[in-house]
Amino acid sequence: MIYRETGTFITSYIEDRKLFPIPFDKWAMALFMLFMVFVIPFIASDYWLAAHLIPILAYGTAALGLNLLTGMTGQLSLGTAGFMCFGAFFTFNIMLRSPEWMNLPLALMLAGTVTGVIGIIFGLPSIRIKGFYLLVSTLAAQYFALWFFRSYPYFLNYATATVTLPDHHFDLFGIGETFDVDMASFEAKYLLSLGIVTALALFAKNLMRSATGRNFMAVRDMDIAASVIGIPVIRTKMLAFFVSCFYCGVGGALFCYAYLQVLGIRTFEMNRSFEILFMVIIGGLGSIAGSFYGTILVYEFPILFSWAGDYIFKGAFDTAVVDNVAKIMYGILIIALLIREPGGLAALWATAKQKLRTWPFPH
């Protein structure tokens, strides 16, 4: 009874196709977004913005990208960090080497597009290679990206290991100078990331309920059957790789620009790919909101665990022990979640919604 759809009558096809058919959902979402835009920047401290909200947004974009590829189209990928690397480096180079009028959102979109094209190249083998065998192609992408940017220092502007990203890259249309606002502050970076992530999530949501999205899912469920009923399998797979890598590229660029504020190759090692894969699995394969639930859990779990360890044992154990115990707990969490709820957090949330709907009379 807390959450209900009674009283909502759908009388036309257009109403049936609404993004949020239930008024409760719509208002809750609107309120949530208003809160995120107008309240959070004022109440959250720099620590919360810089160490929690911004990284979650950046990770979430990459996780969403991987989810579009693995969860929606069924193509397993271990090259996420590699594609993020391409996105981050291209954004930096576009900002560095283009005239005055270039701004960060435009550069992100351009870099995302280039990353998407690279994604198509590494996705080409998926026409012939299927299942686990495709891991080879995405791993090649991962290691190729790291090798490429390490071998050609031009892309790092000949810096030795990392480049600190200059503040003036954040200035949009000279707003900063005209109104005397700090466009490189955490609040501004947060709002920029939030805007981009919201736009991308909305696009993904709409993509998945379009014919293209249904093609994605048909290819995932069985590509032979999909080709039999006339779905262009090759084009669908390539499109999935393009969209996914676009998201990963933008995610990687946000990761460097908004979160780390430095650009370096070591940010995008293999471990990052796994981290994002976990976010997708734990959040729920094939669920857009799930990508963000998973991101929050995976990102916050080690922080929370070490904080709790500190708080309870007051430093009785050294950090290495706490780290290792956190790893053990994390492994157990993943296995337990897969056993109890293979659909991930998104499926748990759906069950919770059903419970709320029938509360207090479940029968």
Residues that bind other proteins (CB under 8 A): 76, 125, 128-130, 132-133, 135-137, 139-140, 143-144, 146-147, 150-151, 222, 224-225, 228, 270, 274, 277-278, 281, 285, 320-321, 323-335, 338-339, 342
Considering the complex, state which of residue 327 and residue 355 has its C-beta at the smaller distance from other proteins: 327
Cα separation, 127 vs 35, in Å, equals: 44
Q: Which two tokens stand for residue 244?
A: 């996914």
Tell me how far, at minimum, the Cβ of 81 lies from other proteins, in Å.
Answer: 13
Considering the complex, state which of residue 209 and residue 327 has its C-beta at the smaller distance from other proteins: 327
Cα separation, 172 vs 63, in Å, equals: 27
Considering the complex, state which of residue 35 and residue 313 has its C-beta at the smaller distance from other proteins: 313
- Answer yes or no: are the C-beta atoms of 240 and 138 closer than 8 Å: no
| Total residue count of the chain as it appears in this document | 363
Considering the complex, state which of residue 187 and residue 323 has its C-beta at the smaller distance from other proteins: 323
Tell me how far, at minimum, the Cβ of 200 lies from other proteins, in Å.
Answer: 24
> What number of other Cβ atoms are within 10 A of residue 328's Cβ?
10
Cα separation, 337 vs 279, in Å, equals: 12
Q: Which two tokens stand for residue 143?
A: 């290691």
Alpha-carbon torsion angle 231, 235, 241, 245, nearest 10:
-120
- Find the radius of gyration of the CA atoms of the chain: 21
Considering the complex, state which of residue 196 and residue 282 has its C-beta at the smaller distance from other proteins: 282
Considering the complex, state which of residue 260 and residue 337 has its C-beta at the smaller distance from other proteins: 337
Considering the complex, state which of residue 33 and residue 329 has its C-beta at the smaller distance from other proteins: 329
From the list 157, 173, 59, the residue with the least C-alpha distance to 106 is 173
Considering the complex, state which of residue 13 and residue 132 has its C-beta at the smaller distance from other proteins: 132
Written as one letter, the residue type at 217 is: M
DSSP 1-54: --S--TT----SHHHHT-S--SHHHHHHHHHHHHIIIIIHHHHS-HHHIIIIIH
Tell me how far, at minimum, the Cβ of 61 lies from other proteins, in Å.
Answer: 21
Tell me how far, at minimum, the Cβ of 275 lies from other proteins, in Å.
Answer: 10
Tell me how far, at minimum, the Cβ of 332 lies from other proteins, in Å.
Answer: 6
Tell me how far, at minimum, the Cβ of 354 lies from other proteins, in Å.
Answer: 22
Tell me how far, at minimum, the Cβ of 235 lies from other proteins, in Å.
Answer: 19
Cα separation, 21 vs 29, in Å, equals: 12
Cα separation, 25 vs 349, in Å, equals: 14
Enclosing H/E stretch for 164: strand 162-164
Tell me how far, at minimum, the Cβ of 303 lies from other proteins, in Å.
Answer: 16
Q: CA end-to-end span of the chain, whole Å?
A: 13
Considering the complex, state which of residue 115 and residue 193 has its C-beta at the smaller distance from other proteins: 115
For residue 10, what is the DSSP state?
A: -
For residue 266, what is the DSSP state?
A: G
Tell me how far, at minimum, the Cβ of 337 lies from other proteins, in Å.
Answer: 8
